[in-house]
Amino acid sequence: MRRALRENITNLLLLLPGAGFITLFFLLPLLSTILTSVGLISFTGPGSLTWAHYAEFQKGFYLHAFLFSLWIGLGSSLGSLLIALPLCLVIRERFPGREIISSLLKIPLVIPALIATYMLMTVIAPHGLFNLLLMKLNIIAEPLKLIQDPWGIGILLVQMWKNIPFQAVIILAVMENINQEIIDAARNLGAGAWAVISRIIIPLSMPGILVAVILVFIRAFGGFEIPLLIGPVYPTTIPVLMYRRAMVDGNWGLASALATVIIVTSIIVVALYRRLAEKIG
Amino acid sequence: MGKIKLTWFWRQLNFRRFFAWLFVSLLLISVVVPLVVIVLWSLIDPEVGWQFPDLYPRALSLHFWKRLFAIGEVPRAMALSFTIAPVVTALAGLLSLPTAYALARREFRGKGLIEIMILLPIIIPGVTVGISLGAIFTRLGLSQTIIGIVLAHLLVVMPYMIRTVTASFKAIPQDVIDAAYNLGASPLQVAREILIPLVMPGLSAGGVFAFIYSLEEFVLTFIIATPTYQTIPTLLFSYLGYYFSRPLASAMSLLILAPTIIVLLLAEKFIKTEYLSAGFGKL
C-alpha cells in the first residue's frame, strides 16, 4: 500500500515539469478560451452565460469563412500529399546526391510561415519572377493573379511549399520501416514496380499518410500568418477573422467563439483519425 | 525504323528515371529560387533598383545590409532572439527529461490521457490560445516581459521535445539498466552514467526543434511582448506592414534564415532521422 503511494507520488513528481507545464500554460488558456466564448469569463466585466457570440455565426459571412478555411485545409493537405507521396517513392531509391537533395528539400520545414509567405509572394506576385518568366516565354499575356485572390491560390501554394517536406518526412519514416522482405517476396512472385507500390508500399504507409494529411489539415485550417499576408480580404479564414475581431474590434467574446470553432474542428479531425487508424490497424 | 525509336523511347527504365529527375529538379528549383530571389533583393543598389521587366537586378550593393544594421532595433531583436532560443532549448530539455522518463518507462493510470494532453499543443493551432494566454499573462504580470516570451516559446516547443526524448528513453534496453543496478549502482549513478548519455539523440533532435521553433515563433511572442520587446519575427512583421521596404524585409528575413538553415544542415548530418521523425511522427 505504501509502496503504491510512493510510486504514485514519484510518478506525479516526474510528470510535473513537462506535463504540468503544458497543463498550466496550454490546457488552462484553452479552457479559458472556451469559457470566454460562452460569456462565463469576460474581459470587460463580470460574465454570465450567453450564446450571443455564437448567435453571430448566423450571418452568412461566418459560414463563408468556415467553408473557406475548410477549403484551405483540405486543399493544402491533399495538394501537398499529391506531391509528397511521389517524392517519398523517389527518395526511397538510392541515387547519387540523394543526401544533399534530401537535405535541400527539407529547407522549407525550417522557414517560418511569415518569411515563407513573404518570399513566395515576391516570386508569384503579378510583377514577380514567376509571371515574368511565363510572359517572356509567351505562355500567358497577362500576369496571373496568384496572391490575394478569392480562391486562396496564394495561400494554397505557400502551404504546399511548406508542407510537402513536412509530409514527406513523416511518410518516409513509416515507409522506411516497411520490412524489405515483404517487398522482396512480392518481387519474387513477379510483381512489377507499380504493383509493389500500389499493393504494398502505399497500404503499409497508410498510418504515416493519414498522420501527414491530418496534421497539415489542422495547420492549414488554423493557420494565421499565411492567409493574413497573402490571402484575400474576403472571404478570409477563421484565424484571420479571429484576429480582426480581437485586435481591431476588441470583441474578445466573438474571437473566443471563433477560436472554439477551430479547437472543436481540430479535435473532431483527430478523433476521426484515431477511429480510422484503429480500423486500419 | 519508327518502331525501333518508339520502343527505345518507351523503355521503362529511362522513361521513369527521366520523370523522376524532372520531378525532383522542379521541386529543388521551387525551393531554391525563392531563396535566391530574396538574396538578390537584399543586395540591390538603391540607385538602380530592380525594375519590372528585368529577370535580375542590374547592379548589386551592400547598401541595404548596412542600413539594416544601422537600425537600432535590428541588433537588439537579433540579440533577443538568439539569447532566448538557447535558453528555451536548455529549459525544454531539462523540463522534459523527468516527464519523458515517466512516459517511456513507467506505468500509471491515465497515461493515455497525459499523452493526449501533451499532443494538444501540436494538434490545436496556437492562435486559439494566444489571446487567452495573453490575458492570463497580463494578470500574472508576465505580459511584456522576457520571462513571458520564454514561457510562451517553451509552450510551443515542449511537446516536440517530450516526444523525441520519450522515443529515446523507450529505446534504452532494460537489460542495461538492470545490469547497472546489479553491479550496485545508485539511481543517481544510473541516471548520470547510463540514461542521460543514451538519451542524447532524443535531446539533440528535440533541441534542434526547440532552437528553430523558438527563433521563428511569431504569434504568441507578438501578443505577449509587442511593443516592448521585439524578436526578429515580430520586427519583420512590422517591416512587412507600415514600413515596407522589400530590400530591408529581404535582408531581415535572411538574418533568421541563415542560422536556421545552417542548424538544419548540421542536424541532418549528425542526428539520426528516426528521432527527427519522432518529433513529427505518429500521433
Q: pLDDT tens digit string along A39-68?
A: 777 766 666 777 878 887 878 888 889 999
Output the 3-class SS for B110-121: CHHHHHHHHHHH
Q: Which has more confidence, B184 or B2?
A: B184
Cell for A96?
Answer: 547519387
The reported pLDDT for the residue numbered B10 is: 56
Q: How far is A151 from A55, CA to CA, in rounded Å?
A: 27
* Residue of B58, B57, B63 whose CA lies nearest to B37: B57
**Record: contact B127-A11, CB cut-off 8 A:** no
**Record: contact A15-B101, CB cut-off 8 A:** no
With a pLDDT cut of 90, the percent of chain B lying above it is: 14
Quick check: helix, strand or coil at residue A274? helix
Query: Which range among A14-18, A96-100, A153-157, B274-278 has the greatest average pLDDT?
Result: A153-157
Q: How far is A72 from A150, CA to CA, in rounded Å?
A: 11
* Residue of A158, A108, A104, A107 whose CA lies nearest to A130: A158
Tell me which chain B residue has its CA closest to the CA of residue A25. B155
Q: Are B38 and B253 in contact (CB under 8 A)?
A: yes
The reported pLDDT for the residue numbered B283 is: 47
Q: Between the CA atoms of B231, B235, B240 and B246, what dihedral angle is there, to the nearest 10 degrees?
A: -100
- Across the A:B interface, residue pairs with CB atoms under 8 Å apart total 242
Q: How far is B216 from A115, CA to CA, in rounded Å?
A: 9
* Residue of A263, A266, A244 whose CA lies nearest to A255: A244
pLDDT band at B5 (very low <50, low <70, confident <90, very high): low
Cell for A2?
Answer: 505504501
Q: Are A72 and A217 in contact (CB under 8 A)?
A: no
Of A11, A173, A267, the CB nearest to B281: A173
pLDDT band at B36 (very low <50, low <70, confident <90, very high): very high
**Domain made up of A58-280: CATH architecture:** Orthogonal Bundle (1.10)
For residues B65-74, give the mean pLDDT.
Answer: 83
Q: How close A60 comes to chain B (CA, Å)?
A: 22
CB neighbours of B100 closer than 8 A, spacing ≥ 6?
A18, B162, B165, B166, B168, B169, B199, B202
In this predicted structure, the answer to whether residue B259 has a pLDDT above a threshold of 70 is yes
**Record: contact B281-A170, CB cut-off 8 A:** yes
The reported pLDDT for the residue numbered B12 is: 54
Q: What is the DSSP letter of B107?
A: -
In this predicted structure, the answer to whether residue B8 has a pLDDT above a threshold of 70 is no
Give the mean pLDDT of chain A.
Answer: 86
- Domains identified in chain B and CATH numbers: 2-63 (no CATH), 66-280 (1.10.3720.10)
**Record: contact B38-A164, CB cut-off 8 A:** no
What are the structural domain ranges in chain A?
16-50, 58-280
Q: Are A246 and A258 in contact (CB under 8 A)?
A: no
- ipTM for this model: 0.84
Peptide bond into B227 cis (omega under 30): yes
CB atoms within 10 A of CB A184: 11
For residues A151-177, give the mean pLDDT.
Answer: 90
Q: Are B281 and A211 in contact (CB under 8 A)?
A: yes
Q: CB contact, 8 Å: A73 with chain B?
A: no
Q: How close A85 comes to chain B (CA, Å)?
A: 12
The reported pLDDT for the residue numbered A281 is: 57
Q: Are B264 and A114 in contact (CB under 8 A)?
A: no
